[in-house]
């Protein structure tokens, strides 16, 4: 068995490291992660009373962070954040600096931080078991919501009660569903990679 898989903490390796290559691979994966986030951003459901839509973005943030690791994951979400200043890649095809100053701005900034934290947890092997992968996704979404609530409060100037309800409470169930999806996908992906046998490559 490849030592990288046998060791409980394989030197910070993540799923992306199973792909051969170095700089070219990393660049492609960073762009791909940003593209995935942009794609899932277009899955947007508007909730009555809230200026922030339910989207697939937080699922993408967790998957990108865990798959790429802290540095590449954060870089990927930063690319997405910057791309949205010019391209219609934010939720509902929106773009521009006004979005960052609007109700959704804090969430977008939180994506970068969350990807880094989830990525670091993946580097520590937390994405290889269902329970710890679920916990990593919950932590990542908690970071997104924390940043998002601050941004929403500043943008709308509502009460904290209104802000928490319309920026967190009504999204809680969906967030847990996304964490369950992540907890199922990531350990399964690791199982497939390990199944490649002794010639499986990381790094």
Strand partners, 45: 54
Mean pLDDT for 101-117 is: 97
**Measured distance CA(51)–CA(165) in Å, rounded:** 12
Widest CA span of the chain, in angstroms? 57
**Measured distance CA(58)–CA(177) in Å, rounded:** 11
Fold (topology level) of 11-194? Arp2/3 complex 21 kDa subunit ARPC3 (1.10.1760)
Residue 145 — left, alpha, or beta (φ > 0 → left; ψ -120 to 50 → alpha)?
Answer: alpha
Residue 5: pLDDT band (50, 70, 90) is very low
- Structure tokens of 166? 């319309």
Looking at residue 6, its pLDDT comes to 39
Mean pLDDT for 195-203 is: 49
10 pLDDT more than 70: no
Strand partners, 44: 55
Looking at residue 196, its pLDDT comes to 61
Domain boundaries, the chain: 11-194
3-class SS at 44?
strand
Percent of the chain clearing pLDDT 70 (strictly above)? 90
Calculated CA dihedral for residues 66, 72, 75, 80, nearest 10 degrees: -60
Q: What's the pLDDT tens digit per position in 142-179?
A: 999 999 999 999 999 989 999 999 999 999 999 999 99
Calculated CA dihedral for residues 19, 23, 29, 35, nearest 10 degrees: -160
**Measured distance CA(188)–CA(193) in Å, rounded:** 9
132 pLDDT more than 90: yes
Q: Which position has the higher pLDDT, 65 or 196?
A: 65
Looking at residue 79, its pLDDT comes to 98
Asked if 20 contacts 196 with a C-beta cutoff of 8 angstroms, the reply is: no
Mean pLDDT for 12-34 is: 89
């Amino acid at each position: 068995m490849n030592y990288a898989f046998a060791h409980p903490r394989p030197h910070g390796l993540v799923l992306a490291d199973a792909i051969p290559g170095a700089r070219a691979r990393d660049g492609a994966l960073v762009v791909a992660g940003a593209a995935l986030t942009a794609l899932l951003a277009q899955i947007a459901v508007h909730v009555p009373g809230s200026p922030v839509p339910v989207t697939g973005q937080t699922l993408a943030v967790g998957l990108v962070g865990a798959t790429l690791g802290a540095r590449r994951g954060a870089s990927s979400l930063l690319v997405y954040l910057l791309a949205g200043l010019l391209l219609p890649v934010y939720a509902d095809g929106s773009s521009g600096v006004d979005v960052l100053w609007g109700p959704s701005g804090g969430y977008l900034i939180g994506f970068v931080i969350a990807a880094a934290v989830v990525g670091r947890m993946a580097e520590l092997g937390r994405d290889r078991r269902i329970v710890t992968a679920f916990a990593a996704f919950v932590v990542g979404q908690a970071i997104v919501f924390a940043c998002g609530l601050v941004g929403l409060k500043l943008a709308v100037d509502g009460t904290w009660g209104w802000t928490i309800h319309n920026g967190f409470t009504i999204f809680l169930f969906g967030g847990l569903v996304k964490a369950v999806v992540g907890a199922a996908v990531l350990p399964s992906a690791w199982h497939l990679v390990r199944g490649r046998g002794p010639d499986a490559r990381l790094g």
